[in-house]
Amino acid sequence: MKLNKVAMSVLTSGMLVSMMGAGMTVSAHSVAKHVSAASIKYPVVIQTAVYTGKQDGKKGWPEFAPAFFAAPANSRVELVIHSYDDGPAAVTGNNYAVKGTIGGYELVDGKKVKTIPAKNVAHTITIPGMNLNIPIPPKTGNEQYVTVVAYFNTGKAGNYPWQCMAACGSGSSGWTGAMSTNGWMKGTFSVYNQ
């Protein structure tokens, strides 16, 4: 009967994995409470979207919604971005390159890329304190939005400011308006202790 119990527990964890694989919702937060952070196998999923000024009702003000994020310390994050913007903006420095993600890549409409042509960056999520850069290309003509997915690990707790590094705002530089306003093209990534 001892054997049965072992087989049963193997079956149960196997079933859990296949249930999770099938897309059943399992709260990463509740998992994190019972398992040490280093052993978390499933990421904390964070979703955001980039809306155009036309969509959000403020002309010339593209917007990340939400622009404030939170995840536990030392956990794995899957960041999913849907961007409705179809126009590129001048990107600063080498922020067209993916930086700090697991494997050094991001998925653009499901395709692994490590960099985007500098002329083809619409927005970025750049978090200097987390050594992270996630460039976002414009959506193409035949899609509603482009999907960018990035996986990364959070480090220690803290409030890390992020900023879009593609001049998508107002003014002659493109760096005022949405670019210089919290909740639009900049915000905070809060990493907290459980």
- The least distance separating Cu ion from the CB of residue 168, rounded to whole angstroms, comes to 3
- The least distance separating Cu ion from the CB of residue 28, rounded to whole angstroms, comes to 28
C-beta closer to Cu ion: residue 20 or 97: 97
C-beta closer to Cu ion: residue 95 or 101: 95
Query: Which residue's Cβ has the minimum distance to Cu ion?
Result: 164
C-beta closer to Cu ion: residue 146 or 185: 185
- The least distance separating Cu ion from the CB of residue 48, rounded to whole angstroms, comes to 12
**Judging by DSSP bridges, how do beta strands 158-163 and 111-113 pair with one another?**
unpaired
Instruction: Compute the half-sphere exposure of residue 4: CA atoms within 13 Å on the CB side of its CA.
Output: 1
Measure the CA–CA gap between 73 and 37, rounded to whole angstroms: 8
DSSP for the chain, please give it.
-HHHHHHHHHHHHHHHHHHHHTT----HHHHHHHS-GGG--SPEEEEEEEE-HHHHTSTT--EEES-EEEEETT-EEEEEEEE------PBPTTTTB-BSSGGG-EEETTEEESB--GGG--EEEEEGGGTEEEEEPPPPTTSS-EEEEEEEE--SSEEEEEE--B--SBTTTS-BGGGGSBTTTEEEEEEE--
C-beta closer to Cu ion: residue 71 or 164: 164
C-beta closer to Cu ion: residue 44 or 108: 108
Measure the CA–CA gap between 101 and 183, rounded to whole angstroms: 23
Residues that bind Cu ion (CB under 5 A): 123, 164, 168, 185
- The least distance separating Cu ion from the CB of residue 30, rounded to whole angstroms, comes to 34
Q: Which residue has the tokens 């990107």?
A: 91
C-beta closer to Cu ion: residue 32 or 122: 122
- The least distance separating Cu ion from the CB of residue 159, rounded to whole angstroms, comes to 21
- The least distance separating Cu ion from the CB of residue 63, rounded to whole angstroms, comes to 9
